[in-house]
Amino acid sequence: MTEKKLPKKTLFFYGLSEMPLSIASLPLLAFIPNYYVSDLGLDFAVVALVMLLARSFDAVTDPLIGFLSDRTDTRWGRRRIWMFFSIPLLMMATYKLFFPDNSWEWVPFNLDFLSLNLGAGGHYLLFWFLVLWFGWSMLFIPYYSWAAELSSDYNERSTIVGWRMFIGTFGNAISKFLPAIALFLFAFGGAEETIIIIGVCLLIVIPITISLSVFNVPERMDYQVKQGSLKEGLIAMWKNKAFRQLIFAYFFNYLGVTLSTLTVMFFIRGVTGEEEQGILYFVFYYVANLIGIPFWLWLSKKVGKHNAWKIGLSVFTILQPCYFFLGEGDYYWMFPITFIAGLAGSTFHLIPHAMKADVIDYDTHLTGEDRAAQFFAAWSFVTKMAIAIAPFFAFTYLDLIGFDSTPGAINSPEQILGLKILFCLGLPLFLILAILCVRNYPITQQKQEEIRREIDAKKQQAQGA
């Protein structure tokens, strides 16, 4: 089955809203926790608990937003309106998290009665993480659901995700390149300075890119507002074997990547001894991501999406342990490993996101329902749980081995070895689990085209009746 390709203008404007998501993802995973621990003095355990609590809140909000988005019915559609109203929440939370006031003002609640002992800084961080992740869900879930509705073609969906990822990664690379320029040209560098530059980028990009997507890309208006219950939708998703395989594989993939992202700055500081130029690691990685996208798009059309993903996972699994052999003064030896890993890492978001639309078709084929946003809500929740579990595990582990993350701190050989084990071997373990999850994945291009033909035939019969 073939379908008319989307205009490049539509692909471009749709992809713009990925930019704030991509720019923010790394700072929220690595820079913000690192900054609040190393520079603002919060304990490892406090930051780990805050991130776990903030993610637990999404167990309620993400399914609810997905459920409501599928049932929203306005003259502007059901996806764009949610995206537009996410803007003020995202901007406010970004400002408070990236430009914190050490007096920790503007915290409307206190959880000390639960004996959590977060302190003023912990409560501040928790509140603004809650606001940010709620706004993130309002943007992410409808936005990614919208992608599945732009085209029903197997390969065109990969193209849509490819454009979205390319634009997002380009913005991400630029936002990480600016701190590097500031460091080399103006000696304006370090953790706090990097946070400031990226925070300013986000405050500019959030309203502009989301608004351009909302006002320039038409939304499909032939949807039917669903009346089924949230419970029925969740049960149907769980019965979808292909979705179970995909979501567990992505969970392990993202858990491993999050663990690596969280600890890479500690590795750069603690193992190689580099204090100020760590941002260059991310510039190399994201430039390689950009370069790799066209190749993985081509390969996914030749061998199938899930097979291309497994190849990317396998390459990264082999490369990550190579960092184990680096030591003091070896920072620049990280770059060739990082560049090749970045090429393979293009698959981590490109391929599984394109596969999601196919499993939604499979659900529609089985149940007759169109619940794209509920699927993306489940995906969002699993992603955030990985973001919660990885810091909790990593920071608790580093606290137990006594690793000191303070800039310039001296750690013992045993503590450095413990950090190396976590950074170099943690990610490959989870990537192997991801590969195992997508063995015998059932939805090939041929299968997806058969599913679409049957869905379209049922629609035509319903319209004829």
Residues 133/58, Cβ–Cβ less than 8 Å: yes
Q: Would you state the structure tokens that stand for residue 309, as one six-digit string?
A: 């993903």
How do residues 422-460 score in pLDDT, each as one tens digit? Answer: 999 999 999 999 999 999 898 888 888 888 788 777 767
Per the structure, the complete domain to which residue 244 belongs is given by 14-220+229-459
**Looking at the domain assignment, is residue 7 inside a domain?**
no
Give the pLDDT score at 313.
96
The SS3 assignment for 77 reads strand
H or E stretch including 179?
Answer: helix 154-186
Say yes or no to pLDDT of 382 above 90.
Answer: no
Residues 75/382, Cβ–Cβ less than 8 Å: no
Q: Compute the distance between CA of residue 326 and CA of residue 333 in angstroms, rounded to an integer.
A: 8
Share of the chain above pLDDT 70, in %: 88
- The pTM for the full model equals 0.74
> What secondary structure letter does DSSP report for 103?
T
Residues 102/124, Cβ–Cβ less than 8 Å: no
The SS3 assignment for 74 reads strand
**Looking at the domain assignment, is residue 465 inside a domain?**
no
Give the pLDDT score at 446.
85
**Looking at the domain assignment, is residue 6 inside a domain?**
no
Say yes or no to pLDDT of 109 above 80.
Answer: no
Which of the two residues, 313 and 235, has the higher pLDDT score?
313
- When pLDDT is averaged across residues 207-216 and rounded to a whole number, the result is 96
> What secondary structure letter does DSSP report for 110?
-
Q: What is the CATH number of the domain that holds 289?
A: 1.20.1250.20
CA angle centred on 161, ends 55 and 242, rounded to 5°? 65
Confidence class for position 228, pLDDT limits 50, 70, 90: low
How do residues 317-334 score in pLDDT, each as one tens digit? Answer: 999 999 999 999 898 899
Say yes or no to pLDDT of 186 above 60.
Answer: no
Confidence class for position 115, pLDDT limits 50, 70, 90: very low
Say yes or no to pLDDT of 169 above 50.
Answer: yes
- When pLDDT is averaged across residues 367-379 and rounded to a whole number, the result is 75
DSSP 234-245: HHHHHH-HHHHH
Confidence class for position 231, pLDDT limits 50, 70, 90: low
Confidence class for position 1, pLDDT limits 50, 70, 90: very low
Give the pLDDT score at 433.
97
DSSP H helix total and E strand total for the chain: 17, 0
- When pLDDT is averaged across residues 65-92 and rounded to a whole number, the result is 89
Give 77's strand partners.
74
Q: Would you state the structure tokens that stand for residue 347, as one six-digit string?
A: 């698959």
Q: Rounded to a whole number, what is the largest CA-CA distance in the chain?
A: 76
Say yes or no to pLDDT of 230 above 70.
Answer: no
Residues 389/52, Cβ–Cβ less than 8 Å: yes
**Looking at the domain assignment, is residue 1 inside a domain?**
no
Confidence class for position 40, pLDDT limits 50, 70, 90: confident
Contacts (Cβ under 8 Å, ≥6 apart) of 309: 249, 300, 347, 351, 352, 355, 438
Confidence class for position 106, pLDDT limits 50, 70, 90: low
Please name which of 429, 443, 433 lies closest in space to residue 306, comparing C-alpha atoms. Answer: 443
Neighbours of 41 (CB within 10 A): 12
Share of the chain above pLDDT 90, in %: 34
Confidence class for position 221, pLDDT limits 50, 70, 90: low
Residues 18/164, Cβ–Cβ less than 8 Å: yes
**Looking at the domain assignment, is residue 72 inside a domain?**
yes
Please name which of 370, 388, 165, 355 lies closest in space to residue 245, comparing C-alpha atoms. Answer: 355
**Looking at the domain assignment, is residue 131 inside a domain?**
yes
Please name which of 128, 56, 256 lies closest in space to residue 248, comparing C-alpha atoms. Answer: 256
The count of C-alpha atoms lying within 13 angstroms of the C-alpha of 443, restricted to the half-sphere facing its C-beta, is 27
Give the pLDDT score at 70.
80
Q: Would you state the structure tokens that stand for residue 109, as one six-digit string?
A: 């609640």
Would you give the end-to-end CA distance of the chain in angstroms?
24
Contacts (Cβ under 8 Å, ≥6 apart) of 376: 66, 140, 141, 142, 144, 145, 148, 356
Which of the two residues, 59 and 350, has the higher pLDDT score?
350
| Tokens 């939805």, located at residue | 443
Say yes or no to pLDDT of 301 above 50.
Answer: yes
Q: What total number of domains does the chain contain?
A: 1
Give the pLDDT score at 233.
65
Residues 415/402, Cβ–Cβ less than 8 Å: yes
DSSP 307-330: HHHHHHHHHHHHHGGGGGG--TT-
User: Which of the residue ranges 12-26, 40-54, 236-250 has the most confident prediction, judged by mean pLDDT?
Assistant: 12-26
